[in-house]
Amino acid sequence: MTSTPRLVAFDLDDTLAPSKTAIDPRMAELLVTLLDRVEVCIISGGQYGQFTAQVIDKLTAASPEALTRLHLMPTCGTQYYRFEGGAWNQVYAQNLTDDEKHRALAAVEGEARRLGYWESETWGPILEDRGSQITFSALGQGAPVSAKAAWDADGVKKNTLREAAQALLPDLEVRSGGSTSVDITRQGIDKAYGMGRLSELTGIPLDDMLFVGDRLDPDGNDYPVKALGVECHAVEGWHDTAAFLDELIPTL
């Protein structure tokens, strides 16, 4: 990036807010301020409903005009939403076929059971059909952050399950998602895919974008964006992101 970014993209969980949690009022204020200056994208493995609950519902101070500069990319950009005519509209969604879904669900459940990772006490369903993505969440979608952090502190379970499921699904792509989750999509669908689509759709070159995420390590779900060559800033949680925005915003 040779100059200031025209677009700033963020991971959601553990970057803008704790996993599955609404953004803090301070983060909402920073995002509203940022939207007055640049285009903003949020890209996550999560579904659109999580974007609404965690972020959009908290951006009450944003004008409709400012919201037109916010780009939402749920499930790694296989879905795309824009604010048009006073409402959030789905621009596109690329869903898995029924056969792909069936095989993905069977493989990840079978391997989780075989490895002893299929928990009996969970907070909601372990498996979720997100249309364009099948997601395994070891403790269920509603698990508290503390329980999730304790389940697989070193990431070994998640990576072992990812590799085992991938071996059964050579035509699909299996990746580690959030702290306890594994995501299955078509091949080549990751946050780099979403950022590439975003560049096509907005006409903003990748070189003019900045990405902020908490998992830019090679095993992390933000890493593909770094590998794509987009300027990246690594954070450890939303406080870190807020501190970064305090420095970045005056430069824009």
Cα(96)–Cα(183) distance, integer angstroms: 13
Give the residue, chosen from 5, 10, 11, 176, that forms a contact with Mg ion under the rule CB under 5 A: 11
Ligand-binding site membership of 214 (annotated): yes
* Segment contacting Mg ion by CB under 5 A, of 50-58, 135-143, 214-222, 235-243: 214-222
CB of 209 to Mg ion, least distance (A): 18
A 10 A CB-CB count for 13 gives: 25
SS (H, E, C) 95-142: CCCHHHHHHHHHHHHHHHHHHCCCCCCCCCCCEEECCCCEEEECCCCC
* Segment contacting Mg ion by CB under 5 A, of 4-12, 89-97, 154-162, 193-201: 4-12
CB of 234 to Mg ion, least distance (A): 11
Ligand-binding site membership of 183 (annotated): yes
Give the residue, chosen from 7, 9, 13, 209, that forms a contact with Mg ion under the rule CB under 5 A: 13
CB of 182 to Mg ion, least distance (A): 14
- Nearer to Mg ion among residue 13 and residue 39 (C-beta): 13
- Given a contact cutoff of 8 angstroms between Cβ atoms, the answer to whether 134 and 161 are in contact is no
Instruction: Show contacts with Mg ion in window 168-187 (CB under 5 A).
Output: none
Three-state secondary-structure class, residue 39: strand
- Nearer to Mg ion among residue 14 and residue 39 (C-beta): 14
∠131-136-139 over CA atoms, to 5°?
A: 130
The residues with which 42 forms a beta bridge, in sequence order, are: 10, 72
CB of 167 to Mg ion, least distance (A): 25
Ligand-binding site membership of 113 (annotated): no
Ligand-binding site membership of 26 (annotated): no
CB of 86 to Mg ion, least distance (A): 30
∠9-188-100 over CA atoms, to 5°?
A: 120
Ligand-binding site membership of 11 (annotated): yes
Instruction: Pick the catalytic residue from 13, 152, 190, 222.
Output: 13
- Pairing type for strands 181-186 and 39-43 reads unpaired
Q: Which two tokens stand for residue 154?
A: 């070193």
- Nearer to Mg ion among residue 52 and residue 68 (C-beta): 52
Cα(211)–Cα(38) distance, integer angstroms: 13
Q: Is 11 a catalytic residue?
A: yes
N- to C-terminal Cα separation, the chain? 13
- Binding to Mg ion by residue 14, rule CB under 5 A? yes
Catalytic residue list: 11, 13
Binding site for Mg ion (CB under 5 A): 11, 13-14, 214
User: Residue ranges for the binding site for Mg(2+)?
Assistant: 11, 13, 214
